Structure 1
Amino acid sequence: MKREDIDWSVLRGALVGFVLSVVVGGALAGGGHAVMKSMQLEFTRNNALFQGISGKYLAVDEEEKQIKKYFPRFLDLYHGGIIGREERLNWIETLRDAGERLRIPSLNYEIRSQGAFAPSFPLNLGRYQLYSSEMSLSLQALHEGDLLRLLQLLDTRAAGLYSIHACRMNKSSQVIDVTSGDKGNILVQCEMNWFTVKLADGTEIKVET
């Protein structure tokens, strides 16, 4: 076939269609790449948002688990007089009742002002502070067992937590008479601390129950 025999009108239409298809295809390919990049950026942003929300939810969920686990124990310490206000009146009344119950001839005490307690070992309480009320206890006992029974009653009846850091016992007389309930045979003198947990600035912890 010779060149002059070719129907250029037919080929011209096909050639134009081919060129248009190439141009449109290239545009679609370029546009597809841009769309894909935009979608990837949107996915990255939404995924970061989802991860942030999930992290907050997990943190709240973990906090709720911690509250359910430890709050009952916290309430026990609060109602037991260890966390919260100073239970000075309770300590005095418990000592008086114990003295009468045990028929201790003489029982005296002195409670000094409450202050921040500094233990001899490292103690990190975070936002909280351990406070101590120092008490001097003096009693005339019939025998050594009276002190042990007194402390047992404090353990079971008194609010709060205490610690004894010094005790001295001296005979009141040369003759020990355990039959007399009006006169003690042993003079007992003890130094003790009553502990209370408050906020670090001294604010009393209050719980609505």
Structure 2
Amino acid sequence: MTLNQVLRVLRWQIAFAVVLVALGAAALYAADKACADAEARLADAERIQRSASARLLTAQTQETEVREAIDVYGRLNEAGLVGPEQRLLWVETLDMTRKRLGIENIRYEILPQRPLTTEQARQLSWMESRMRISMELPHGQALLDLMAALMATPTAVVQPRQCELERQARTTDRLRATCELRWLTLQRLEPAS
């Protein structure tokens, strides 16, 4: 049998084999494209998952910070630091401490309250009232004890700014003191309409 005769007999088998090879190549190409598409979708899904994980972590961190801020706010509110000033309580504390320490003569002036910052983005703002005190003291420790008592006032953060001391006369232990204090409170800001 010659080659032509063999090809005639096998022509349908060869054609079928060529079709099968073509179908296999097409299937391989489709599988490769599907694999590349799946890898791209996987990469997108991983990117989305990383982004979501980062947002979740940020939200959890912010939730913790908000919970801590709420706790701090609650403690400050319970202490009376949030809200209107309680000047009457401050003056009563000053008077009781004056009597306890034996300070006979004391004069004070509380200046109008003012905000410490002009930032309106927050719902709470630190407010400051300055107090000027002039007094005659039996000794220097009385001034320290008075400042400690005022700084322990729960309804404000009290910060001594400056004090000037002078002896009244060379023959006496009595002192004259002039001090300036800051009384800090938190005030809720009304939302802008």
TM-score tier (shorter): 0.7 to 0.9
CA–CA separation in structure 2 for the residues paired with 1:5 and 1:151: 121
The answer (yes or no) to whether the contact 1:90–1:158 under 8 Å persists in 2 is no
Give the deviation of 1:53 after TM superposition.
Answer: 0.9
* RMSD after superposition: 3.4
CA–CA separation in structure 2 for the residues paired with 1:43 and 1:6: 52
Query: What is the DSSP-based 3-state SS (H/G/I as helix, E as strand, rest coil) of the residue aligned with 1:25?
Result: helix
CA–CA separation in structure 1 for the residues paired with 2:133 and 2:3: 129
Match of 1:61 in 2: 60
Instruction: Please give the TM-score of this superposition, normalised by the length of structure 1.
Output: 0.69
Of Structure 1 and Structure 2, the greater helix share is in 2
Deviates more, 1:33-42 or 1:156-165: 156-165
The answer (yes or no) to whether the contact 2:137–2:177 under 8 Å persists in 1 is yes
Q: 2:142 aligns with which of 133, 146, 163?
A: 146
Match of 2:8 in 1: 8
Match of 1:203 in 2: 189
Distance 1:6 1:141, change over 3 A: closer
Residues 48-96 of structure 1, C-alpha deviations (whole Å, 9 max, x = no match): 2111111111112333444566765565555455666544333222112
Match of 1:24 in 2: 23
CA–CA separation in structure 1 for the residues paired with 2:11 and 2:51: 59
**Unaligned stretches of 5+ in structure 2?**
none
**Unaligned stretches of 5+ in structure 1?**
119-125, 179-184, 205-209
CA–CA separation in structure 2 for the residues paired with 1:7 and 1:136: 118
The answer (yes or no) to whether the contact 1:91–1:158 under 8 Å persists in 2 is no
Instruction: Please give the TM-score of this superposition, normalised by the length of structure 2.
Output: 0.74
CA–CA separation in structure 2 for the residues paired with 1:108 and 1:5: 131
